[in-house]
Amino acid sequence: MMASQIPSLVMDTSAEGLLHKNDPALKKYEAFRRQFGREQVIIIGLKPEEVFDLKFLSRLKDFHHALEEQVPHVAEITSLVNAEYMYGRDDELIVEELLERLPEDEPGMQELRDRVINNPLYRDTVISESGSFTVIVIKPVLFSSASKDENLPLSEKEKAELVESINTICKRFRSKDFPVYLSGDVAVEEVLRKMTMDTMIRFTALTLLVIIIVFAILFRRISGVILPLIVVNCALYSTLGLMALFNTPVTLNSTVLPSFLLAVGIGDSVHILAVYFQHLRQQGDKKAAIAFAMGHSGLAVVMTSLTTAAGLLSFVNSGIAPVANLGIFAAVGVLMALVFSLVTLPALLAVTPVRKKNPKSDISTRSGLDMFLAGIGDFATTHPWKIVFFSLIIFIGSLFMALQLKFSHNSLNYLREDVPVRVATDLIDKEMKGSFNIEIVLDTNREHGLYEPDAMKEIETVQLLAEEMMVADRPVGRALAVTDIVKDINQVLNDGKPSGYRIPDNRELIAQELLLYEVGGGDNLDKIMDRKYRKTRITVRAPWVDAVAYDRTLAELANKLKTVFDGQTTVSVTGLASIIVRTLSAIIRSMGESYLIAGVIITLLMILLIGNVRIGLCSMAPNFLPIVLGLALMKLTGIPLDYSTIMVGGIAIGLAVDDTVHFLHNFRRYYNQCGDAGVAVRQTLLTTGRAMLFTTIILACGFFILLLAELKSTNNFGIITGFTITMALFADFLLAPAMMVLLTGKKKT
């Protein structure tokens, strides 16, 4: 029933999709878009041998018109072809397209070149400062045309149609003499969306393959492979169906959800089936074997599921919406896997014919594995102080490295360096000094306030301050505002004299010039001002760099803006840059909160399970050590704490504690029987140790498979989580037994 909802699942890889709907930064951004339209764009870069060449410009016009005619969901396309060109004729101001008529000879081409290069309105907006690189900027519509709801945003399907149609036209026009580079935040989002979907499908299949192979080796029975797959897939599809039912989109984080749920959910089946088949082989009574397996492993399976869910639920309060959603639905998936394992699996075992096998053919009787596990247990119990001492040294060294980790947020870095959209973005950043925008909104708080010369001069001051900014030691591009149009109009009306390129000192003259502009055919004012001439925007072209750099830059800009205005005009900073900065701060806060919440909740559950505060607290050492080791590995390999890796700690501690729960649950049982910690450790590892080993193999493989993904963020998450889980097994095989020996020893007779 729940799986039937899966076809309605949607995807969201947008920057604004990272924040909760009620986030103040997102609300400000959405208000800006309602006022001025969509800020995010697709940028097509063109780097011919010579821009001002008749053959190139003719092809550019054809390319531009093909985009206008064939690309759906477009609000506006701007390039050299239709950039506004203003000139005076008699007492009129004429506004027409720059390339309405192509030059017919070399002098005409030179005149066009001089006109473009010397006009500030064109520089770093449609052509580079050097004049060797030009762009076409495509602005999508803000709202969907497929819905009766006029306020419904453009859907992911419509964005995909938009980008796909642009790609098709680009391929048709691209040649050696007409090189085309496709970039822009909308294009990057679409590439990430495709890779996300591909990653989910391919790695779900690969994880299933790993599970089949491991279970075939472990149980050597068809039922031992098929039944757990039925159980875990029921949990997976139910979870995905619930996501669709609650309109929760698939995001970059969600790429790991299917692999995660398959690997985690299968662990419950391993512990139940390992005991079930062992008891069945020894006693031959299927019903008794089911009852014994549930009695032996049921409580531990419940506790491991609760601790894993607790680790995941630590993300619920995250300021990053996809992280919070993943925490909720991954936890729900884990608990669903628990329910299916405790209810459906025993029922399936009861109705499935199972042939009693020769004990010699069962993998669980092989002495090699027994000797390995017993040897580890004996080593841990005979050298407990050495193991604890070296573990402490490793913990301190790893913690030192972990504390040096850097925070980061840059979705472009999720793509490999040779991915075309990343190559194009880097090139456009270099040539045009930026590929996305910082938006500054000014409100004069009075109708027609923008007619005032003082207001115009304040805007001009803000432009100059913005253009002085550096982001990660890279300069920003042009800061475009209504002042550029006013100064250009004023120069045209003053016979093109350079001295005329200024803001008039007369309020009525500014109003007249803006009216002449609109009457003459200009149509850009409504994109940068409101109808009451009260509010306006300043758009700053900026390079695509890490949010850490923008955090400092925007803070400096905000401080400078406070010195510009007299108090009547209010100013705010928004745009994609402000969204990614807000996301960075949410990442930093989320990490501290989620790690603390997960640690506290899981520690309390361990104390409750064990029934002893001292042992419960000490039992967390084998769980915290792998987390710190994983963070240290991130430092050694240069992996930052970002949108994807921020989840590693909360997820890993929830998974790492699973083996500890199974170990301590069975250790306590054997210790109460024999009163000797060394014997109890050996017995625990010879029984539960096998299931611990194979569940870790499945989990680790499920995450290490992600190294094959195209997204670097998924690679990073896979390697760190897989490594942490592997280290957790070693900690439970060595450190946990050593600590139990030191804490319990032998019972007094």
Q: Given a cut of 60, is residue 448 above it in pLDDT? A: yes
Q: Count, in order, helices (H) and strands (E) of the chain.
A: 25, 12
Task: Give pLDDT tens digits for 396-438.
Answer: 999 999 899 888 888 888 888 889 999 999 999 999 988 888 8
Least confident of 134-143, 532-541, 578-587: 578-587
Q: Given a cut of 80, is residue 245 above it in pLDDT? A: yes
Architecture of domain 189-404+580-744: Up-down Bundle (1.20)
Give CA–CA dist 681/674, Å, rounded: 11
Least confident of 148-162, 491-505, 626-640, 730-744: 148-162
Q: Given a cut of 80, is residue 578 above it in pLDDT? A: yes
Give CA–CA dist 15/410, Å, rounded: 10
Residue 183's pLDDT is 93
User: pTM of the full predicted structure?
Assistant: 0.81
Ramachandran class of 463: left when φ > 0, alpha when ψ lies in -120 to 50, beta otherwise: alpha
Q: Where are the domains of the chain?
A: 13-187+421-579, 189-404+580-744
Give CA–CA dist 80/64, Å, rounded: 9
Give CA–CA dist 425/722, Å, rounded: 32
Q: Given a cut of 90, is residue 58 above it in pLDDT? A: yes
Task: Give pLDDT tens digits for 617-647.
Answer: 887 888 889 889 999 999 999 888 887 787 7
CA distances from 574 to 92, 154, 441, 544, 557 (A): 37, 20, 8, 16, 12
Residue 507's pLDDT is 93
Residue linked to tokens 């039912």? 245
Instruction: Give the confidence band of 749 by pLDDT, cuts at 50, 70, 90.
Output: very low
Hey, is 564 helix, strand or coil? coil
Q: Given a cut of 90, is residue 133 above it in pLDDT? A: yes
Q: Given a cut of 50, is residue 364 above it in pLDDT? A: no
Give CA–CA dist 706/716, Å, rounded: 8
Instruction: Give the confidence band of 359 by pLDDT, cuts at 50, 70, 90.
Output: low
State the number of CA atoms in the 13 A half-sphere of 183 facing the CB.
Answer: 26
Phi, psi of 479, deg, nearest 5: -105, 105
Residue 149's pLDDT is 58
Q: Which sign, positive or negative, has the C-alpha torsion 181, 184, 190, 196?
A: positive
DSSP conformation letters of 73-141: SEEEEESTTT-EEEEEETTEEEEEETTSS---SHHHHHHHHHHHHT-TTTBTTTB-TTSS-EEEEEEE-
Give CA–CA dist 166/634, Å, rounded: 38
State the number of CA atoms in the 13 A half-sphere of 162 facing the CB.
Answer: 29
Give CA–CA dist 15/27, Å, rounded: 14
Question: Using N-to-C axis directions, what is the helix angle for 576-610 and 621-637, rounded to 10°?
Answer: 150
Give CA–CA dist 185/538, Å, rounded: 19
- Specify which residues 540 forms β-bridges with: 438, 479
Q: Which residues contact 120 (CB under 8 A, 6 or more apart)?
A: 478, 484, 488
Task: Give pLDDT tens digits for 260-316.
Answer: 888 788 888 888 888 888 888 888 888 999 999 898 888 888 888 888 888 888 888
State the number of CA atoms in the 13 A half-sphere of 450 facing the CB.
Answer: 24
Q: Are 550 and 577 in contact (CB under 8 A)?
A: yes
Residue 196's pLDDT is 82
